Structures are given as structure tokens and as C-alpha cells.
Amino acid sequence: MSQLVTYNSLVGYQLLKRRNDLGVDQATVSASTGISQPVLSRLEKGAAVISTDQLFVLCKALNCKPSDVLKDVESVIDKLNGNEQLEVKTTKEANTAGAFLAGAAIGTALTFLLAKK
């Protein structure tokens, strides 16, 4: 049986990676963007649906372009294409289908699965 990953989770994970690469904590990003720390945490975990506005504001704070984040997400999806262990779905599809991976579980699963290829 495959595990489900949402597109939102993949976007959130890419934002989390970029924030960690910069060595910036959530409180700093929250203060500079006006997005509360709890909301930022949920976005990074894929537990909340990210809006276009939030994506642009967060990317500005993380010194990247939304297109760069989306390209990284597309790259991950391409690498996962045909993998029977992880399946990428919309949030609505994942909620309908049952439990899905979010947060740190995505990072762990992606690192493991993508390293195999």
C-alpha cells in the first residue's frame, strides 16, 4: 500500500528546507512576513493549504522565487513518478483517501526513496 503525499506538503517541505538552509527560525520568518508562527508551522508541515499570497510573501522572506519552489516540487514529483511507495495527491484527494504523510515524515520518506534511485 502506498503512502499519500499532498502537493501542499511538498511545497511546505521545500519552504522548510529553504528556511533551514538560511539558518532562520520560524519566529524570524513570522515577524518579517506577518504570517503567524503557528500558521507558518502548519504550512511547512503541509497541514494547511498555502495561498498564492502566502507563497509569494514567504519566498520573498526566504530570498527565492515561487517558481524555484515549484520547480523543486516538480522535480521531486518527477523522481517519485512510478514509485509505488509514495503517491502525490491533492489535499482533498488525500483527505478522502485517508492518512497521508506530512511534516518531517515527508523529508524522511523522500530522502530514503530518492536516494534509492
| pLDDT tens by residue, 68-90 | 999 999 998 888 777 666 777 77
Q: What domains are defined for the chain?
A: 3-115 (1.10.260.40)
Q: Which residues are CB-neighbours of 64 under 8 A, at least 6 positions away?
A: 18
> Tens of pLDDT along 23-62?
999 999 999 999 999 999 999 988 899 999 999 999 999 9
Is pTM beyond 0.85? Reply is no
Written as nine digits, the cell of 86 is: 509514495
Which residue do the cell numbers 502566502 mark? 54
Report pLDDT for 16: 95
Closest CA to 7 of 100, 104, 112: 100
